[in-house]
Structure 1
Amino acid sequence: MLNLSLLRQFSRLSVCSVTKIPINTRNIVTSSALQFKISDQLWAEPMKKKKKIDPAIVKAREERRRKKLEKQIRRLEKNAQQLKPIDEMEVPLHLLDNMEKRKRPQPQLSAEVLEARALLQKEWARYKHNEYVTHVAQIDRIMAAQRRALDRLYEESEDLYNEAVMPDLQLLPFSVSGPVDTPPIKGYDSPDGEYIDISKKWDH
């Protein structure tokens, strides 16, 4: 049976050797504190051995991938010029079904009628041309008379000339009067801004 004092001394030595505390000192630590350290976690695994694949299988996979990409490209090119339909501009189906019934045949015009219409169109073109020339000449005469009157006025008095060329702000009077604030509506439940988007989605 071991001696109890020997066990105590052995226990004291083991603790001091671990913590590096001198035996002769009384709880005075002169070295660095004991720290527990572990190695870095690598989280690695052995590399898997590559399986040998038949080159024909690899070539078949690449061919399938290439055909799939070509199919997607053709679909995108086909729908590139396709415009999004507008519901408001679409013709109802019942009108399309009755289009043949409602279509009127073009009347067969005689040569005399076609000649008379051509002459009438030429005469109308000449009339509108003469009307345009008359209006332009009248405007030129009015502007020339106005210019001569302003020149004579400038010779008489420069102050009167400046007042004459000033824009008339009362030529087109415009005034608006109305409520500056809309009164509240009794019992009106104001929406919180939420809404349901029912617009159609179109993929390009």
Structure 2
Amino acid sequence: MFLNSLFQRLPIRDILSRSINTASVLNIHATPALCAEPLKKKRKIDPQIIKQREDRKKKKIEKQIRRLEKNARQLKPIEELDIPIELIDEKSQRARAITIAPEVLEQRVSLNKQWAAYKHKEKVADFQIIDRVLQSQMKALDELRKESEELYLEAIQPDNQLLPISIKGPVATPPIENYPSPDGEYIHLTKNWE
């Protein structure tokens, strides 16, 4: 009777959490219900089957790696450089029918050949001039070395007067104190290519 009236007045959590070291009726302890099963016995598996499973996993991972390497060579598309599909579809409609006379075509081909020959001669002449200058420089340095080793060592030193460069200032600018940074809002439109 006394316990029933006590249980009705106190919430159940207060009764369960109460722990008084007296031999009275209020010293009640409750443990949570444990829902457990006995452990299952491990079945013995054939080592050959285990090896086959590991090989399958390994092959699957290798296949994924090959696929990723194959896709890694492909460049990410740049939307600004892509041709719209509408223009590709309208290509036949937009194509102009241009007929060039055979004489004009021959003239263009001969002009291209003459231009290529001219640029080739110009390039060869530049290389020859550079070779002559380097040979004369090496010859002069060899003659100078025969005369005086000290003069030769001074001659091969770089000349700082040829390119007068003076750089002053910090390599990184320090932050400006009490700078009110602008609170700009923008919409991030960059696509994430994974």
What TM-score do you get using the length of structure 1 for normalisation? 0.45
Considering only CA atoms, is the larger Rg found in Structure 1 or Structure 2?
1
What TM-score do you get using the length of structure 2 for normalisation? 0.47
